[in-house]
């Protein structure tokens, strides 16, 4: 998403333990993980590191990435026909220190039959996705409504992150006649 709007990036995976702490609230969890990711990536003076973490929550329970098909099936069955929240925390580290934010979006799922859930799980699209679904893919068929940033549900609240980059003096978007350059 960032490259589409002209923000130059270099991807450097962060190796951090993403296990929620006992009793950790969802927003505190994603904020902690985003900060951990940002601080774990080495940077030279003048460089910026942007990290983010997304989770799905329902009934106060964190639905991170499903480990297997059974867990993905259980997560989707829990989300079916209900409203859940996607929370993405983002952290920017530069020479001026740490700046961070969080975006929360509500997503309404349509009711889903066991065969629909099984078919989606068989697609494998759920792998590596918080809440075991990808709104930008096949799972869009399960979404009745979104209140808030759809890019947040994809994994990066683009408008909020771009505003943070610009305010911090980090490389921001560049446009040419509506096209990123």
Confidence of residue 173 (pLDDT cuts 50, 70, 90): confident
Q: Where are the domains of the chain?
A: 3-169
Confidence of residue 179 (pLDDT cuts 50, 70, 90): low
Q: What is the mean pLDDT of residues 65-81?
A: 97
Nearest by Cα to 140 from 109, 96, 103, 98:
109
Between these two residues, 51 and 178, which has the higher pLDDT value?
Answer: 51
What whole-number distance in Å separates Cα of residue 151 and Cα of residue 89? Answer: 13
- Residues 146 and 85 sit within 8 Å (Cβ to Cβ): no
Q: Is the pLDDT of residue 181 over 50?
A: no
* Cα–Cα separations (whole angstroms), residue 179 to 17, 18, 109, 144, 176: 38, 36, 33, 30, 5
17-71: pLDDT as tens digits: 999 999 999 999 999 999 999 999 878 888 899 999 999 999 999 998 999 999 9
Nearest by Cα to 30 from 84, 89, 86:
89
Predicted model pTM: 0.88
Nearest by Cα to 110 from 79, 89, 152, 150:
79
- Residues 94 and 170 sit within 8 Å (Cβ to Cβ): yes
Report the CATH architecture of 3-169: Alpha-Beta Complex (3.90)
Query: 73 Cβ partners below 8 Å, 6+ apart?
Result: 117, 118, 121
Structure tokens at 119: 């078919």
φ, ψ of residue 171 to 5 degrees: the values are: -60, 125
Conformation bin of residue 33: beta by default, left when phi > 0, alpha when psi is -120 to 50? alpha
Q: What is the mean pLDDT of residues 142-167?
A: 95
81-125: pLDDT as tens digits: 999 999 999 999 998 899 999 999 999 999 999 999 999 999 999
Question: Which residue numbers are catalytic?
Answer: 53
> Residue 176: its pLDDT value, please?
60
């Amino acid at each position: 998403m960032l490259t589409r709007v002209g923000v130059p990036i270099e991807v450097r995976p962060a190796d951090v333990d993403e296990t929620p702490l006992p009793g950790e609230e969802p927003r505190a969890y994603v904020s902690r993980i985003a900060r951990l990711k940002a601080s774990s990536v080495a940077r030279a003076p003048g460089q910026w590191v942007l990290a983010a973490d997304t989770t799905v929550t329902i009934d106060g329970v964190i639905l991170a990435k499903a480990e297997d098909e059974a867990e993905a099936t259980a997560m989707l069955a829990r989300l079916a026909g209900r409203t859940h929240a996607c929370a993405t925390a983002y952290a920017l580290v530069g020479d001026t220190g740490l700046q961070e934010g969080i975006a929360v979006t509500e997503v309404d799922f349509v009711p889903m039959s066991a065969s629909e859930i099984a078919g989606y799980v068989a697609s494998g699209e759920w792998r590596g996705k918080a809440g075991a679904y990808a709104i930008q893919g096949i799972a869009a068929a399960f979404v009745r409504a979104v209140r808030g940033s759809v890019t947040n549900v994809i994994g990066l609240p683009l408008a909020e992150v771009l505003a943070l980059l610009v305010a911090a003096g980090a490389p921001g978007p560049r446009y040419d006649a509506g096209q990123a350059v």
